[in-house]
Structure 1
Amino acid sequence: MALYAQTSGTQSTNSGTFVPIPGLSLTLPEGVGTSALVILNLPMPYAQGNDYPGATVGITVNGTALGVAASFTYNEQVPSSTGRVPTTLVVSVPLAGAPQTIAGVWYGVRGSTVIIDTPATLSAILD
């Protein structure tokens, strides 16, 4: 079984802490003894700022961030242009005795504004 969510339109954040990426949330079914492979894919994000801009993305389970994250920053303090930086995070989430809500989350590094203007996805593949 596969579950899938996709963003639409332009999304952005300048939060300094994890906030949900609008539209990227799924509910995993219960399933003790198995897990879901969860994939958060931002194929064309970019960041703007004046202190080596970048982004960090993660996944939450029932509102709690997992201990792994993906990140990117630019090599220049103030980039002359903001190139696209494909970013993907893949984690295994153990299923529980009750449904769990997973969500893609993000924040801007060092005060950056992070922008996605192409569809980003959150997928879960279950045994």
Structure 2
Amino acid sequence: MFLSLATGSLGVLIVFQDLKLFLSFLLGAALAYLNFLTLKKEGGELLARVYQNVMSCLDRPYQRERTLFLIKVYLRLLAIGIIFYFLITRLGLHPVFLLLGFTLIYFQIFVVMIRFWLRKKESF
């Protein structure tokens, strides 16, 4: 992830030669990376709690945990939207490059998943 972030940021800096566009891309990618890390951590905690509840033979083992997880995800998205609004309106960063940086991490995850799926498919 850091390699793609560095390559993308350097590419934006070399091609457009504008510090504001470079910072927009870099901050978008950094926000996506932080969002991914927290989502990964909370997703693992959710799975551990669901597993623990299933092993305890509870009636609806995942309802409460799932609801809390979704509330956290939507609150995080709201916070990221507020941060983007602040970065665009107050600091004057470019919105397209913020979004490009933000989607870079998720595009990379998508590509890795497709490659993993194709390798699994070839092994069968």
TM-score for both structures, normalised by structure 1? 0.23
Larger radius of gyration: 2
Bigger share in strand = 1
Q: TM-score normalised to the size of structure 2?
A: 0.23
The higher-RCO structure (CA 8 Å, 6+ apart) is 1
